[in-house]
A and B are shown apart, each in its own frame.
Chain A
Amino acid sequence: MNPIRARGIRKSFGALEVLKGVDLDLAKGEVLCILGPSGSGKSTLLRCINHLERPDGGMVELNGVPVGYRLSGTTFRELPEREIQKQRAAMGMVFQRFNLFPHLTARQNIMEAPRRVLGLSATEASQRAERLMKQVGLAEKVDTYPGALSGGQQQRVAIARALAMEPSVMLFDEPTSALDPELVGEVLDVMRSLADSHAMSMIVVTHEIGFARSVADRVMFMDGGVVVEQGKPQAVLANPEHERTRAFLRRILE
């Protein structure tokens, strides 16, 4: 069963239709890279998948269960907030601007949700934080506040924080776009090793074509709220079928 199956996702903000019926599948252990110009609805799609935004139409399934709704008869009834929170906890999200909690140390950032949501003890959560900080190569920074970390280090802590919930999928929204060029590599390395373990299913919105080419199992190109084309990275990146994809790649590669 695919961890994520989305069908006909539509979303408007006022008169602006941002998603015009998007279908998306993510297989177990698969890495899907989403490319597309700014404003094409990539972030909104990720936010609809974990129900930070409620789609106006269509449905997302996580491990075969509808997200945010319960099927009753032939209609879908919206779930109580508490149930949706549980579903959200199973999808890790990494933001462009890290969004670490600045008043908490790296350890406390990682411990907070496992303690509150999964009910882990302080000792268990703290051990998990240490293990994950080691995994992202920051073992010695575990008791540091975000303000004293570089952008690349902050984003690696943010990845550790999301992994601490042991999610079945990870959603990355342009995780390296806010970083100085020399810091991009360390974050992509962490993501690459996560992908190489084949344990994690990942959706990565990114402009890093090199990463998409070497790590992605599949690349999807979005424009104007629709999926223009998708396929193997070699095919889509080297020989795009659509003029819009070609124009975008030309712009980004020069």
Chain B
Amino acid sequence: MAGIGNQAGLPSVLTDEQLASAQLLPRKQPWTWVAAVAVVLVLANALYSILTNRGFGWPVVGEYFFAPQVMAGLFTTLMLTAISMTLALLLGIIVAVAAASRNPVLSSVAKGYIWIFRAIPLLVQIIFWYNLAALYPKLGFGIPFLPPVVEFDTNSVITAISAAIIAMSLNEGAYMAEIVRSGLNSVDSGQREAARALGMSSWDSFRRIVMPQAMRVIIPPTGNETLSMLKYTSLVSVIALPDLLYSTQLISSRNFEVIPMLLVASLWYLLVSTILMVIQSGIERHYAKSVVRP
């Protein structure tokens, strides 16, 4: 019993007055301070070595940070990411709805798409679309097995940019479909039912009731996907498309400043990623506002 205090129900030594007017102090947390000091020391040391090590070539970094070729590469990277991600999101929503459809043909096609485009490496898909002309010299629209109504030269439609966009949208669309599907599943079936009972159309119920709630689940992984996409766009160097990373590498192949040029690319990736993260948390706050108790 010793040390456990007043368990036996002995009368307390404290007066009512002392309990009622007790002065409360927070718990002492010495280890937080120890950890903080250790982290600051390690970071300061790292920063010092990065700034003083000549190998990093900071003057070269400064010289090329806004170089026109780097800017053009950055623009290509941002454009590829924005267009592909937008198309992938739209595609993902359509495919997720199709996969959940009661129509067996529609849902099989959707599931087949998700299966194939998640299974094949993105690099292979980029090369495949770029070389489509080798398989099909002409592309056309029309009724299957009948002569096409309109026809194009494949090489006039499939440029490096369009091949990259097609490959990345189709690939990312398959992942987005899975993300959207989990978002739609997270919405209680009573929500759709209540909308239906009010006479709302299934489109209105999807757009106004289900999707806004699914967004809470969809946004965080979509933010992840966008950040991955930003960096996966560097794969387009295989089809000689100068994105951010490839542009800096082209420069370093001339001036042999490998590390500084990698730093230029990395700092830009860091900056853009940070901005995207800020945007993501803003969007998350927007969709979370209804759960905050006033």
Name A42-62 residues within 8 Å CB distance of B. Answer: 50, 52
Bound-state Cα–Cα, A132 to B235, Å? 58
Name B190's contact: one of A81, A99, A148, A161 (CB within 8 Å): A99
Is A85 interfacial (CB 8 A cutoff)? yes
The dominant DSSP class at the B interface is: helix
Asked, given contacts A93-B197, A113-B199, whether A102 binds B213 with beta carbons under 8 Å apart, the answer is yes
Is A117 interfacial (CB 8 A cutoff)? yes
Task: Check if A89 sits within 8 Å of B293, measured CB to CB.
Answer: no
Asked, given contacts A116-B208, A165-B199, whether A104 binds B191 with beta carbons under 8 Å apart, the answer is no
Name B290's contact: one of A85, A95, A103, A113 (CB within 8 Å): A103
Name B172-200 residues within 8 Å CB distance of A. Answer: 188, 190-191, 193-200
Name A116's contact: one of B190, B200, B290, B293 (CB within 8 Å): B200
**Residues of A close to B193: CB separation below 8 A:** 52, 95, 99
Asked, given contacts A95-B194, A112-B208, whether A104 binds B199 with beta carbons under 8 Å apart, the answer is no
Asked, given contacts A95-B194, A99-B193, whether A147 binds B291 with beta carbons under 8 Å apart, the answer is yes
Task: Check if A112 sits within 8 Å of B200, measured CB to CB.
Answer: yes
Bound-state Cα–Cα, A91 to B195, Å? 13
Give the nearest-CB partner of A144 in chain B: B294
Give the nearest-CB partner of B215 in chain A: A103
**Residues of B close to A92: CB separation below 8 A:** 197
Task: Check if B293 sits within 8 Å of A148, measured CB to CB.
Answer: yes
Give the nearest-CB partner of B198 in chain A: A113
**Residues of B close to A244: CB separation below 8 A:** none
Task: Check if B213 sits within 8 Å of A88, measured CB to CB.
Answer: no
Is B202 interfacial (CB 8 A cutoff)? yes
Name B198's contact: one of A146, A147, A165 (CB within 8 Å): A165
Task: Check if A162 sits within 8 Å of B198, measured CB to CB.
Answer: yes
Is A7 interfacial (CB 8 A cutoff)? no
Is A232 interfacial (CB 8 A cutoff)? no
Task: Check if B212 sits within 8 Å of A89, measured CB to CB.
Answer: no
Is B209 interfacial (CB 8 A cutoff)? yes
Task: Check if B213 sits within 8 Å of A86, measured CB to CB.
Answer: no
Of A82, A144, A148, the most chain B CB neighbours within 10 A belong to A148
Looking at the assembled complex, report how far the CB atom of B41 sits from the nearest CB atom of chain A, in whole angstroms.
Answer: 45
Is B151 interfacial (CB 8 A cutoff)? no
Name B201's contact: one of A82, A91, A95, A112 (CB within 8 Å): A82
**Residues of A close to B209: CB separation below 8 A:** 101, 112
Asked, given contacts A112-B198, A165-B199, whether A103 binds B213 with beta carbons under 8 Å apart, the answer is yes
Is B204 interfacial (CB 8 A cutoff)? yes
**Residues of A close to B290: CB separation below 8 A:** 102-105, 145-147
**Residues of B close to A91: CB separation below 8 A:** 197
Task: Check if B294 sits within 8 Å of A148, measured CB to CB.
Answer: yes
Is A192 interfacial (CB 8 A cutoff)? no
**Residues of B close to A86: CB separation below 8 A:** 199
Task: Check if A117 sits within 8 Å of B199, measured CB to CB.
Answer: yes
Bound-state Cα–Cα, A104 to B208, Å? 10
Which A positions have Cβ atoms within 8 angstroms of B? 50, 52, 81-82, 85-93, 95, 97, 99-105, 112-113, 116-117, 144-148, 161-162, 165
Not counting A85-B200, A113-B198, a sample of 16 additional A-B residue pairs whose C-beta atoms are within 8 angstroms of each other reads: A50-B197, A52-B197, A90-B199, A91-B197, A92-B197, A93-B194, A93-B197, A95-B197, A99-B190, A101-B194, A102-B213, A103-B212, A104-B290, A113-B200, A162-B197, A165-B199
Q: Which 8 A-B pairs have the closest CB atoms?
A: A89-B199, A113-B198, A99-B194, A99-B190, A93-B197, A103-B290, A117-B199, A88-B199
Which B positions have Cβ atoms within 8 angstroms of A? 188, 190-191, 193-202, 204, 208-209, 212-213, 287, 290-291, 293-294
Q: List 16 A-B contacts (CB under 8 A).
A: A81-B202, A88-B196, A89-B198, A89-B199, A95-B197, A99-B188, A99-B191, A99-B194, A103-B290, A112-B209, A116-B200, A116-B201, A116-B204, A117-B200, A145-B294, A165-B199
